[in-house]
Each structure stands twice: as C-alpha cells, then as structure tokens.
Structure 1
Amino acid sequence: MINRSMIQASVTMGQLQNKLDLIGNNLANTNTTGYKSRQANFASLLVQQMDNLDDEKAETGRLTPDGIRVGTGAKLAHTNLDLSHGSLKQTGRELDVALMRDNDLFQLEVDGQTQYTRAGNFYLNPAENGQMELTNADGFRVLGADGEPIVFDGDMDGITIREDGAVLVTRGRQQTVEGRLGIVQAIRPRMLEADGANRFRLPEGTPAAGILEAVNQNDTQIKSRTLEDSNVDISQQMTDLLMAQRAYQFNARSISTSDQMMGLVNQLRT
C-alpha cells in the first residue's frame, strides 16, 4: 500500500504541473488584447476495488460495495475556455473593433484553415493586383460573412467598420459597404483548441455544426475604435496558483513520508 500511495502522489503531481502551466499562461497574457483565460478541471483516474473481507457475514446490511476502493491519482480532465467579455479601451483607430457579446469570435484564414479569435486589432496589407486585404496583427486574412477574405481596391481615401460588422470604404465623397466581418458564436467553447497567438481552432475532423454558428447581421454587436482587453482575473488566478502549489507540496510530502515509512519497515528485525 505504501508504494501505491507514492504512485498516486507522483501521478497527481504531474497533472498539477499542467495546471500550474495553465495558470502561468493566463497570468502572462493579462495585457494581451482579446485573450481569454482557461480553467483546469480534474477527474479521478481508475479506481481499483480491493476485496479485503475475511468474514462477509460481518458486512450484512452494508450499502456500499464490499472491500476498499483505492484510486490511482487524479488527471487533468479538460480545460474550460472562458469567452466572457473583457474590459474595453478606446483607441480611436478605425480598424480596432471589439465584440460586445460573450462567445462571439472573428474568423481568420490560417494556412488554408479557418481559425477564430477575439482580438479585433486589424490592419490593411497589400494583396495581389494592387489590392489591399484586411488582416490581423500576425498578417492572417480576416474572413467575411461569405467565408472569403475581405479584399479592397487600393485607391481608397478611408475605411471604417460599422457596429453591425459592415466595412465601409470611402472614395472621394462616396462611402460604400465593400465587406462584412464574418462573426460566429461558440455554442460549445470547450471544444475549441488553442493554436497559439490568441487563436482557436476546431479539432481535426470535427465539423463546426453544433459547436459554432454564424451570427446574423441583425444580431452583430461591435464597438469600433475600441479593443477588448484580456478577461483574466488576476486575484482568482493567484488564488488558484496558491491552491495548486499547496496541493503539489502535499503530494510531495506524501511521497517523502511514504519513503520514510518504507525505510523504517526495512530496519525492523524479527
């Protein structure tokens, strides 16, 4: 049983390290535009039923299963993505936009695949044939409501993004809608995988149906000239950090105590 307790503690320590890494990542992105925090949920690993009864008659009327149930530690079951709204800051820049509803996401084209983000700091970059395309800070193209990149002719005098996601281009005295941001809502945020640089993607081979759905133009809520800050709650993250550290220390102490007990047993003389 002593060896079993050491195995349980060591397995749990490895999983607690993953939680510490997750908390560290949240704290490191406190000032990242549109960053969404993640929380770790734990679950018990396999439980073994040990039959240690010498006399089953003594257990008459017992409601729980006979014997002892012994676990093998804990595991990081899954991480929850918190897509709740963060605080807003006004920038006065025309291509800075913030989503006003929880769980809404912009769409990006990344290496031929569609990915998602809450960061609305967009830019204009040169495209083919003298055109300009709307991209994010890393140069990935922003997708429109039709699922295609948003591209404009280069001879423009100004560009703004309206609250309903429409992209207005000014040429001379005329202003026309030449694109519309493609916004989706995450119905099951837990299914989204982090891909780095504040972007998310669907697991390979997983259809978007039931996980994401397109947001109607009438339901689109965007605030222009504004960016959304991270939604990381520093006080909560520090509390989680302390709890995880104490749990890690407790399991480390369990291994040390088990080792001392084994040493005492080995010293016994008959």
Structure 2
Amino acid sequence: MNSSMISAMVSMQALQQKLNIQSHNVANLNTTGYKKLDTSFQDLLTTRVNQVDDFQLEGRKTSLGVQEGVGIRVSNPILMMEQGVLTETNLSTDLAIDGDGFFEVGTLDGNERLFTRNGSFQLVPSFDNPEVMHLATSSGQLVKTLDNEPVSIPVNHDFTIDETGRIFAYNNLNPGEEPLELGQLKVVRILSPQYMQSAGNSLYTLPEDILEDPTLVYQIDQDGNLTKDPEDKTNIRVLQGFLEQSNVNLSEEMTEMMMTQRAFQLTSKAYSNAETMMKLAANLRS
C-alpha cells in the first residue's frame, strides 16, 4: 500500500513539472525566436517481488515475480529546433536565420558567449568611440562578427546584410561613395542542442567543454559556405528585415496540456484510493 502511494506521489510531481514546462511554452507563444521545450519521462528504481515456487507450473512461460516501480521522473527538457515562421518587418536591425544556426552575442571582453535565434536587434552607442554604433540585443549583449568583434556601424551610415551574413555600410552624406565592408556575422551551428541552457531573453549558453569542441560548435566561413561539409545541402541564410516567430503550436500545446492534466487527475485518484485502502486496513486491525 505504501508503495502505491509513493509511486502515485512521485508521478504527480513529474506530471506537475511537465505542466509547468508546457505552460512556459504557451506563455512564450509570441516571443521572437523562442524554441519550445519538450519533455520525456524515465522510470525510477524498480524492484522485483518474488512469488513462491509452488506457482511454477508446467508450461508456464512468465517468470515468477512482479515488477514493482516507484513512479517516474522528468528527464532533462529537450530544445525543439523546428523553424519558426519568418515575418517581414522591413527594419534593417531585424535579422532572422533560415536554417539550423544561431547568432553569437556577448560582451566586449569576449568572456561571455551566448547564442540566440532572436534577431530583434538595435543600434546602441559605443562607449569608447562616438563615431560608431554597435548592433546589440534588447538586453545589451553585442552581436559578434567572425573575428569575435562587435558589429560596428559608422555614424551617418546605413547598412545591409546579405544572406551569407556579410555587412556593408553606405554613407548617407555621400551616396555615391563605395560601400564599406564591415565583416561577417558570426553564425554558428550547434549539433547537440540538448546541451543548451536557457539564460533568459531567448539567450542560451553551453557548458565550457562543449564550447571548445569544434565537432559540436562551428561557424560559417568567409566564402559563404554556411555548412561544415560542402556535400551537406542544408542551407543557412541570414535574412535582413525579418524576424523568426516562436515555433510553439498553440493547438498542440493545449491538447498536450489537457492530456497531462488528465494523467495528473488519474494519478491523484490512485493516490486517494490507496490512502482509503490503507485506512480500511488500519480500521480492520483495530
């Protein structure tokens, strides 16, 4: 009886965690660049209750004993990397990635490496050079180039970014002047997104050992080859004037939430029944 109550209690805790994650997905339905989290369950410790040898009958194929578990737990949430819908905004500071990649952002000292699919950037003044503006996230992290330098746009210049991430600046005061090439955006591919950890504001981090592994994290090259393997036909494009919306499907999430809630109610009923049976057994003994 105690085992039934423990199993039900542990399972309810796991189902509550899943409900919390699903609620988080729904809350971020309109968050730019948000990637939904998915959950899976794992069995906890199981024990075997053996039966007496008298149950061993001729022709019996099943083993003597019953497998008894103590519930389930939620494994680490999985980041689902499906492409979100691309919405046109016509703002030069809005960028989107079409394909499997992340913008790398961080601090000027280079000690912070963060990754995002949220390309809703803005131009902010430089602290040490009043002649340039930096492209940054809404929370202040600077967008990086392949040289791990911040994207710096000269004052009185407009800029364009092509599909390979190359940045060009045009002088507003002299429209006939040749454009300045300011480098290339640092777009990385992460082959093991299950290691990514949320840092808030649609930003993600990676453990230090994963960051240093070139087989798991690598960047596009200057020749516009946006894949690691030239034979790999999966293209990555940088689109200026677009934003990627959340990949959360509201109808699917609501359906999953209702199923999880029903499972929670059923497990709660099992706990209540086990408690009732324990009370009856206690009353019989007395």
Structure 1 outlier segments of 4+, above 6 Å:
none
TM-score, structure 1 length as denominator? 0.91
Partner of 2:225: 218
The share of aligned pairs that are identical, in percent, is 31
Structure 1 letter corresponding to 2:156: M
2:196 is the alignment partner of 1:189: no
Partner of 2:206: 202
Partner of 2:280: 264
Mapping of 1:1-270 within 5 angstroms?
2-55=1-54, 57-58=56-57, 62=61, 64=63, 66-101=64-99, 103-109=100-106, 112-127=111-126, 128-130=128-130, 131-152=132-153, 154-171=154-171, 172=174, 173-209=177-213, 210-216=215-221, 217-219=224-226, 220-268=236-284
Q: Report if the CA contact (8 A) 1:99-1:221 is conserved.
A: yes
How far residue 237 of structure 1 moved from its aligned partner, in angstroms, is 0.3
- How many matched pairs? 266
Q: For 1:59 and 1:186, locate their aligned partners in 2 and report how far apart those are by CA, in whole Å.
A: 57
How far residue 149 of structure 1 moved from its aligned partner, in angstroms, is 2.1
- Name structure 1 gaps, 5 residues minimum: none
- Name structure 2 gaps, 5 residues minimum: 227-235
Q: For 1:249 and 1:56, locate their aligned partners in 2 and report how far apart those are by CA, in whole Å.
A: 36
CA 1:181–1:268 in 2, change beyond 3 Å: closer, same or farther? same
Deviations 1:1-39 (A, max 9, x none): x11011011111111111111111110111111111111
Q: For 1:141 and 1:208, locate their aligned partners in 2 and report how far apart those are by CA, in whole Å.
A: 21
CA 1:59–1:234 in 2, change beyond 3 Å: closer, same or farther? farther
TM-score, structure 2 length as denominator? 0.86
Paired residue secondary structure (1:248): helix
Paired residue secondary structure (2:179): strand
Structure 1 letter corresponding to 2:218: E
How far residue 134 of structure 1 moved from its aligned partner, in angstroms, is 1.4
Q: Report if the CA contact (8 A) 1:50-1:67 is conserved.
A: yes
Q: For 2:147 and 2:40, locate their aligned partners in 1 and report how far apart those are by CA, in whole Å.
A: 37
How far residue 83 of structure 1 moved from its aligned partner, in angstroms, is 1.3
Structure 1 letter corresponding to 2:246: S
Paired residue secondary structure (1:261): helix
Structure 2 letter corresponding to 1:27: V
CA 1:228–1:269 in 2, change beyond 3 Å: closer, same or farther? closer
Deviations 1:113-140 (A, max 9, x none): 2111101111111111213211112111
